[in-house]
């Protein structure tokens, strides 16, 4: 590329409220500058941007998540960002919704009855809240009796937890679950910690929905 498109691509990624895909970046550049660009050229520029923000001079970095690219705060500043989130996050998920989300993330695709079997309580409200917040989505229907709806996590879930793929979720065996004196361990009664190589997100009991 003769023209330096790095500032344009950098600004485009920064302005996008959600991860922007390579195809979307290509479309915007070609329509804005009336040029034809190969994906390899754009990928080369994106790599330069990634390398640039690896410097300790910057508190953000460029990451590939949920099928696109987005600027994220670096893990070193997690505690600081968490304080800001707690200060401004007024619409919080209930513990019930967090339990349902954890079950869906690890058991997907999963039906409502399977979620309720694990939790032991009705999950209509928590599933509805997760759908409203676009953290989960409908993934068709089961072949079982009545063909119940199947639920799975969404691209918004991937974006929220900074995951490139579901394989980055920690293995269930890595979680320490309390043992019960009688019977089996109760389902997901501890805080769930989701860790990746780049960041750690703690799913905690953060209060009830307003």
Spatial CA neighbour of 134 closest among 169, 95, 93, 106: 93
* Position 166 pLDDT exceeds 70: yes
pLDDT in tens, 3-25: 789 999 999 999 998 999 999 99
* Domain ranges across the chain: 6-73, 84-203
Three-state secondary-structure class, residue 69: strand
pTM: 0.49
Residue 176 to residue 193: CA distance in whole angstroms: 10
Binned at pLDDT 50, 70 and 90, residue 64 comes out as: very high
Tell me if the domain spanning 84-203 has CATH number 1.10.10.10.
yes
Fold for 6-73, please state it.
Arc Repressor Mutant, subunit A (1.10.10)
Phi-psi region of 146 (alpha: psi -120 to 50; beta: other; left: phi over 0): left
Residue 209 to residue 92: CA distance in whole angstroms: 5
């Amino acid at each position: 590329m003769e023209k330096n498109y790095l500032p344009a691509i950098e600004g485009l990624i920064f302005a996008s409220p959600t991860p922007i895909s390579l195809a979307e970046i290509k479309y915007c550049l070609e329509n804005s500058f009336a040029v034809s660009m190969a994906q390899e050229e754009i990928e080369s520029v994106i790599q330069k941007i990634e390398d640039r923000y690896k410097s300790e001079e910057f508190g953000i970095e460029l990451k590939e998540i949920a099928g696109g690219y987005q600027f994220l705060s670096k893990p070193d500043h997690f505690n600081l960002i968490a304080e800001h989130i707690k200060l401004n996050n007024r619409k919080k998920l209930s513990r019930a919704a967090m339990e349902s989300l954890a079950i869906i993330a690890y058991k997907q695709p999963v039906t409502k009855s399977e979620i309720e079997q694990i939790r032991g309580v009705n999950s209509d409200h928590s599933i509805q809240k997760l759908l409203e917040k676009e953290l989960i989505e409908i993934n068709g229907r089961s072949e079982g009796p009545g063909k119940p709806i199947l639920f799975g996590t969404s691209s918004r879930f991937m974006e929220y937890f900074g995951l490139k793929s579901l394989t980055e979720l920690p293995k269930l065996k890595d979680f320490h679950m309390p043992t019960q004196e009688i019977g089996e361990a109760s389902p997901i009664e501890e805080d769930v910690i989701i860790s990746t190589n780049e960041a750690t997100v703690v799913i905690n009991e953060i209060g009830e929905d307003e």
